[in-house]
Structure 1
């Protein structure tokens, strides 16, 4: 609590300064874990102990040089193993969520397959869970994906909007609680502006100095951008966003120039216009993609949000509304598999 070293000679509350509240509840072991996972861990170990089922194997490791031996354990009964296993399970379920997301957005199961394959092709740019699973972002990010899926669903399902809004609020809370960086993504912390300001000026404060001293908060590397180009994911997204933008501009321009007609024709036009704008979620995803692209260029760490969203947007190559002009069903599938073949090289 009282940290005299981090900002000497000041004495600070380390829990508050470094946002350690999500990790402030301890399990039966000295390792601190997330509040929910800590409770789940105690339930698991208590249940296994009740039935007499061993959950971990431990042994003493002799370190030599007169040092005392230390105990080393493995198994789900160890807090570290339990935490990492839960993170891997959650991120495994997230892949199923990506499939549902791509399917729902594109209106085609093949679109869901494309999203998952693009994530596999760009796995190193989409997540760090395979290298550093204990990071809090590994537990938080799946709820952000669910939040975006709910945002996609709300414009389409007006009859169940109330329940969707409640679920959306719950996802926001679950996304924000474990990970202090989540506020940057949702732009709810004021010093995100100071961080961007420090990129172009000599402005400095405690937060900007703390963040900009690490490479993850530098500008996006050219190597990352070239990787997107080589995997075709960037080019595919540029084409998709261009088509969506063209359709949106054309429809808005047509509605502006539309002359007044009699009341009966007004009803017909309104019905047609509603059908035209029924896919407004595509415009939303395009705007979200542009926002993430700008943030990722300024702050390299945001690429962990940009790359998965580009994979989701890639599912739209299966959308009839966007690419129906290619031809019949068979021709569109041939085009899609051709693009996937080039990505897999």
Structure 2
């Protein structure tokens, strides 16, 4: 496409000695003065160090914000797009989430917009649903409030908030108006996403510094993240996704947990910031419960080994439980939280911790571990399925089906839609090689081997020096072993590794944690055998230089991605819908396209990309019968049952096949054994939609069929 062009449219101590020269007895030096002066020097040094840390953190955060914002701009040429093109650029779930932000910013008042979101009859017509409850839309609520305040304040001060241009698109396309500045809703939206993830990188620097006890550890974490940026995050390509808002708060929450584990005298007040960070993580993302489940299991494993005192574990569980309770209330009693493994695991582990004194009567620790493990598994699974049955909730049943499909020959329509998508498949083979080339994986392997060796050696020495032949662990309220936070992070890393291997998309948890664990290479406690401090840091400098060879190549590849968003066929579709169909016309079709139809036309839709609801999955299955081999009369009946007026037929969905068994017709063959071998309905409809449908729009990609 031709490059777009813009045209304007519219009194200190003197240091005197306290000794009298030549006198037989020196003057008495007040007790503590020397130590006070030394303490003052240390205080000044400490203050300067903290200021330097904060300053470097700010610079790193600002750099990361610019890095992801510039990649986003180069990929889409976002600054030169029209309002409609920017909306079209937010595909699939992104468009769905952004549509609610648009609703709240364009409504006459914020309350009216919020009311439309909470009583929505557009997204799953004719049903009225609370999308704030279902889709974790608190980020959009906060941003809509911020945008309206920003516009209101600047309007009162008579200050412009955006500048608009006339953009010549070339290649025979009509010119469009493009606006830049925070006064443009889409700019306000993505800018705050990028700023939040800039702050996340500042936090990673401070986290790495705190974990390793060295500023070099923080720098090592940041360098590793940048060198493996494509494996660590995708915020630069998909800013509206839930992970873009939620993940920074998980980093903050893990930082607070690490601080708790290092505390000499833990206070129950420490549960408050943990709870707040947990809330901020859970509210934007329905998947947060699974990440928190792994954190809870990692903490429990650390507790079982005696590295965490009962008091610390109780503070952690109180923070987690309080965060869960508040999130449950703010999400209007979201049933998926009650039926989650996280909630049942939280209750089970809390009970195990409180009955620990009763188990201490057993002298052999391995027997206690076995009993605790049995209680954990039976309690968590039993509670989860009991609550699900009592409340008759099956919204998360597909998650169990996905895991079954990965480790058996079980498959159904819904699991195939997931597993045929690359992001829900097993980790791709290239990923381990990519983190190997940047030396991230070898660095973490070295850290793991050294840390585990030293911890085991410490345990062996403690056992050897013990006067008893039996090894026992007494979980009193105060006793715990050193390096509990390191043990926790190793368990957490193992959990994130398992998640990423099973579902490729979840490497966004693994890669950043690999970068964090790499910071321990700068720890003098574990790597003092490198030599003196100067030699130690010299070795790390060489390591960073070796990392940079492939790391800079990775960055250049990302920087070299140049594009310009254009989707003329979809633009034509949206413009036709706006011009030729009634405002209350109901649409069905592919989930990504339906999100765009809702966002850019405001027309009611019957299905959408947020697939975590049992009812929505069945609605989508009915719509997708258009890609099955069923008779057209059955297809029409399914659509009529959903009160669909128009169905969007996307040619690529009829013919695409990501891998064997993954075409839409093959997916349907799992369900419709009796129709195997027949011609897909979409193929018939492309040539002859009559008598059940009437073609009312067609271009190179899309057809719109009206039910007759």
Q: TM over 0.5: same fold?
A: yes
Is the counterpart of residue 216 in structure 1 residue 322 in structure 2? no
Q: Deviations over 1:244-295 (max 9, x none)?
A: 222222333333444338xxxxxxxxxxxx79x3221111111111111111
Is the counterpart of residue 78 in structure 1 residue 189 in structure 2? no
Q: Deviations over 1:103-158 (max 9, x none)?
A: 00000011111111111111111111112222221111110110111111001124
Structure 1 or 2: larger helix share? Answer: 1
Q: For 1:104-119, what aligned pairs fall within 5 Å after superposition?
A: 104-119=210-225
Is the counterpart of residue 136 in structure 1 residue 250 in structure 2? no
Q: For 1:1-345, what aligned pairs fall within 5 Å after superposition?
A: 1-2=120-121, 19-22=134-137, 34-58=140-164, 72-159=178-265, 161-187=267-293, 189-190=340-341, 191=396, 192-204=399-411, 208-260=415-467, 277-345=481-549
TM-score scaled by length of structure 2:
0.42
Q: Which runs of 4+ in 1 moved over 6 A?
A: 3-6, 60-64, 67-70
Distance 1:36 1:17, change over 3 A: closer
Structure with larger Rg:
2
Distance 1:4 1:240, change over 3 A: closer
Shift of 1:46: 0.8
Q: Deviations over 1:48-84 (max 9, x none)?
A: 11101111234677999xx999764322012111010
| Structure 1 residues without counterparts, runs of 5 or longer | 24-32, 262-273
Aligned to 1:30: none
Shift of 1:185: 1.9
SS in 1 for 2:482: helix
**Alignment partners' CA distance in 2, 1:120 and 1:4:** 38
Shift of 1:198: 2.3
Distance 1:324 1:19, change over 3 A: same
**Alignment partners' CA distance in 2, 1:158 and 1:289:** 24
**Alignment partners' CA distance in 1, 2:292 and 2:209:** 25
Kept after mapping to 2: 8 A contact 1:15/1:21:
no
**Alignment partners' CA distance in 2, 1:4 and 1:37:** 21
Distance 1:249 1:74, change over 3 A: same
Q: Which moved more, 1:140-149 or 1:189-198?
A: 189-198
**Alignment partners' CA distance in 2, 1:309 and 1:154:** 19
Distance 1:21 1:105, change over 3 A: closer
TM-score scaled by length of structure 1:
0.82
CA-atom RMSD, angstroms? Answer: 3.0
SS in 1 for 2:179: strand
